[in-house]
């Protein structure tokens, strides 16, 4: 049997989809994970999602959908985690291309469903921002999720909406989501997290990394992103809830507005109108800012006192964990230095590595 899982936000949602498949379906069925190539600026210096023309080595899965095999490569300067995911995980990764708006995404989904005749279709979002109204002050990236939601609700096939790790992306508080969450489908365990443990050693996704950490038992408050958003790690964090698809669309103003869009630019315009911004605009502005910045040198002798100061300040804020992405940006390092920094910290203070997070000690160690 084939299971189709749509990763609503791309990036880490695709990794979480692999964990979900292992937890719910195991080795019995095959998984096709349909996802954007949208890895944000840590991996891809170009703003926005990538399209098929941005890759070499893609394989046609259906007339409207391309498969991303391990040998595929993004065309420089673009970057993408998808080929490496395809190399390390036993799933088929298919590319969602949003440049023809919701109409194009719906066509891609229908084409894939017609070809695969999947046993089930799950739309997966880590964190729950797919349930945002659009006016929440903490909302940061509504466009990708809203496009996926708008397309899935128009497909002539049953789609189950699943929210994993409510609140773990730092965009909506768990309390903001509680009235929308249906029954718990699953609670991730440490055993489930093993399915993606090797990927989380290098993949920059914060929300999925935090989800896996809570599945392994991490509790407290984790600081994420460049803004240092605090995310509570609780017993509810590793849960997966079903949400009524129609209720989600009724709540999500942006998803309703972009139903008939034929271009990504149209969807962006609606995002600016409804939410007050477009996340791709944020990426454009940040990419320009990064071009003018001179990243700090990764000097091991200088890193430790800088890290000690960061940890002391985080501890004063009540933070118990953080991500390597957060540390990288807090120390004014570039995304290309993240892996080197991770290795340096883990080798230097292995006791603080609460995989895949970094533990802030209660007192200086």
* Host domain of residue 109: 2-258
How many separate domains does the chain show?
Answer: 2
Given 189, 223, 258, which residue is the final one in a domain?
258
Same domain? 52 vs 107: yes
Same domain? 21 vs 147: yes
Instruction: Please give the share of the chain, as a percent, with pLDDT higher than 70.
Output: 99
Three-state SS letters, 293-338: CCCCCCCHHHHHHHHHHHHHHHHHCCCCEECHHHHHHHCCCCHHHH
Contacts of residue 233, defined as CB under 8 A and 6 or more positions apart, other chains included, come to 210, 213, 214, 218, 219, 220, 221, 222, 320, 321
Same domain? 197 vs 342: no
Q: Which residue has the higher pLDDT, 113 or 336?
A: 113
Same domain? 225 vs 307: no
Can you read off the two tokens belonging to residue 172?
């909506």
* Calpha distance 349→365 (Å, rounded): 9
With contact defined as beta carbons under 8 Å apart, do 72 and 86 qualify?
A: yes
Can you read off the two tokens belonging to residue 267?
């969807």
Same domain? 232 vs 345: no
| pLDDT (tens digit per residue) in 163-196 | 999 999 999 988 889 999 999 999 999 999 999 9
| pLDDT (tens digit per residue) in 193-251 | 999 999 999 999 999 999 999 999 999 999 998 888 899 999 999 999 999 999 999 99
Stated length of the chain = 365
Same domain? 221 vs 115: yes
Res. 289 pLDDT band, cuts 50 70 90: confident
């Amino acid at each position: 049997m084939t299971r189709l899982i749509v990763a609503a936000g791309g990036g880490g949602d695709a990794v979480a989809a692999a964990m979900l498949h292992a937890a719910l379906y195991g080795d019995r069925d095959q998984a096709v994970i349909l996802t954007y190539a949208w890895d944000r600026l840590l991996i891809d210096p170009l703003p926005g999602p990538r399209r098929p023309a941005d890759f070499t080595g893609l394989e046609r899965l259906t007339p409207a959908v391309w498969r991303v095999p391990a040998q595929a490569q993004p065309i420089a300067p673009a970057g993408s985690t998808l080929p490496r995911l395809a190399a390390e995980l036993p799933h088929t990764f298919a590319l969602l291309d949003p440049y023809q708006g919701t109409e194009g995404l719906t066509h891609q989904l229908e084409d894939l469903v017609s070809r695969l005749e999947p046993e089930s279709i799950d739309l997966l979002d880590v964190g729950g921002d797919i349930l945002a109204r659009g006016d929440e002050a903490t909302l940061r990236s509504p466009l990708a999720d809203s496009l996926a939601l708008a397309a899935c609700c128009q497909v002539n096939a049953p789609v189950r909406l699943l929210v994993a790790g409510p609140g773990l992306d730092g965009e909506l508080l768990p309390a903001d989501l509680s009235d929308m969450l249906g029954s718990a489908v699953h609670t991730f365990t440490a055993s489930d997290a093993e399915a993606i443990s090797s990927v989380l050693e290098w993949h920059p996704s914060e929300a999925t990394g935090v989800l896996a950490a809570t599945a392994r038992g991490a509790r407290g408050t984790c600081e994420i992103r460049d803004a240092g958003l605090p995310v509570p790690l609780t017993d509810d964090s590793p849960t997966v809830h079903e949400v009524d698809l129609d209720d989600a669309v009724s709540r999500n103003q942006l998803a309703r507005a972009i139903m008939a869009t034929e271009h990504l630019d149209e969807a962006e315009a609606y995002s600016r109108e409804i939410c007050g911004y477009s996340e791709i605009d944020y990426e454009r502005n940040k990419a320009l800012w990064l071009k003018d910045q001179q990243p700090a040198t990764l000097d091991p002798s200088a890193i430790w006192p800088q890290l000690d100061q960061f940890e002391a300040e985080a501890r004063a804020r009540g933070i118990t964990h953080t991500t390597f992405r957060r540390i990288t940006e807090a120390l004014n390092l570039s995304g290309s230095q993240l892996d080197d920094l991770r290795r340096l910290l883990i080798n230097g203070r292995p006791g603080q590595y609460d995989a895949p997070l970094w533990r802030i000690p209660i007192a200086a160690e």
